[in-house]
Amino acid sequence: MKFCINCGNDIDNDRVICCDCEKNADLEALCERVGRFNAKTCEDYQLLRAAKEFIDPYSVRNLVFPISESLEKSRREYIRLKSMLYFGRLKKESSRWLYEKAPLMLEGNLSCDEKMQVKGALFTAYHYDYDYFKAEEIAEEIICEGGYDGYVRYNLAEYYVNTRRYAQAEDILKKGLEMYSEDDKTVDCYNELLSKSSKRQLGKENGGIVEYIPAAPENKKLYTEFMNSLGIEVRMPEPKAKAPVIDKIAKGDYPEFPQERNAGFKTFVAYDLETTGLHPDRESIIEIGAVRVVDGEVTENEKFIFRTFVHPYKRRISEEITALTGITNEMVRDAPQMWDAFNAFADFIGDDILVGFNNRNYDDRMLMRAGRYAKRIIRNKSFDVMVYADNFKGKLGSGAKKFSLKELSELLDIKNPQAHRAVADAVTTARIYLKLLEMDDIDINKEIINLLEDDWS
């Protein structure tokens, strides 16, 4: 930068503030302005000008470090810490810096409130670094001295929940709710943590079912030692047995389903899959649904229907997928594995053409993966209704790049009250295909009539 971030005057050195401002300006107030910089709301011309010097405009906040260089040591480090905390807790990579500078700040020229802020940051850093013994020392000091803010209060309560001291956590949170009753965001955060504490307390009473278990980066042995030092017995769950290595057909050796490119067939199996996600090579099937259509008749009785839940392979069902489909982890817990479900599905479809919606890019690939694990190759022809529907965009008055199943069913007045369930979507796919085929037949008949009329004229 070639200008002073405070007054805007040109400067020749590599500093970010001119000599006059360094001597006369309120550097702490300037650091606060810089540390709170928000590119979307800032109206400070000099800060916006400085932000343009960086690829990431928010890097302007880092200028707090050179601006504060001439301050007294303890205040300099406190101002720097404060700037790091404006938008949340200290980043993990900054913890080592804090551990080094905290003694200087706590022994220096800071007010009681400022020292409490340092202790709060130090406690939170130890907690999130899973150093429970050091976190406990700082927590005891903070509780003893009092006067901590809402942010530290929340972190203390979370720490007590994670170390299974629910009464202390709830006491801290309930007092906080009284203090911050007019701050909706804080109230919501406190209530959410209170709910978590209550659930874990219930888990403790029921045998530790949902109590805190050390996270993956943690040293479980050290956590157990710390908890034992508090007189709290910790029973770790038995490690899960490793999933057996499944003998399967190599990915490159499983043939793709041949594509049926000509509509007109009226006997087929329409199918749909519900899955844990959108990537066919990583996600897992959780439901298969299909309907057999014979001579253009969709018959919704069990003789013509195939349905099964599938136990997801190395995956869990997320809350988002449950909200979309209504399928929960509990519902698929005892369901067949995908290779067993595939074998049952392959028996059902026989040699019929498989009809799906966007199945060329997705469902077929998921089925092929299941077939690899089942070590069973099927060679049924596959027909994609979404691709077929592209021929009818003009007639249906749609400008969509690609139809969705929902949009197409609405355009064709086909009801699907159980969307995102496999059988319902399979039946909808079958009805859409037959409706489009009917429209196709009408056009062909018109062409024949026109040709005949031309011959007679």
Active site residues: 420
CA gap 64, 74 in Å, rounded: 15
Q: What residues contact residue 382 under an 8 Å CB cut-off, 6+ apart?
A: 257, 258, 259, 260, 353, 354, 355, 356, 359, 360, 364
Contact 13/1 with Cβ under 8 angstroms? no
Kind plus residue range of the DSSP H or E element containing 49: helix 45-51
CA gap 66, 76 in Å, rounded: 10
Q: DSSP 3-state assignment of 357? A: coil
- Find how far residue 450's CA is from the centre of its chain: 57
Contact 385/355 with Cβ under 8 angstroms? yes
Count of C-beta atoms within a 10 Å radius of residue 80: 23
How far are the Cα atoms of 361, 384, 428, 443 from residue 398, in angstroms, in the given order?
A: 22, 19, 19, 19
Contact 245/313 with Cβ under 8 angstroms? no
Q: 91: exposed, middle or buried (C-beta count within 10 Å: 0-12, 13-18, 19+)? A: exposed
Count of C-beta atoms within a 10 Å radius of residue 108: 18
Asked whether the CA dihedral 415, 418, 424, 428 is positive or negative, the reply is positive
Length of the chain equals 457
Q: DSSP 3-state assignment of 309? A: strand
Torsion of CA 128, 129, 131, 137, to 10 degrees: -50
Torsion of CA 221, 215, 102, 158, to 10 degrees: -110
Tokens of 374: 């089942």
Contact 17/29 with Cβ under 8 angstroms? no
CA gap 122, 116 in Å, rounded: 10
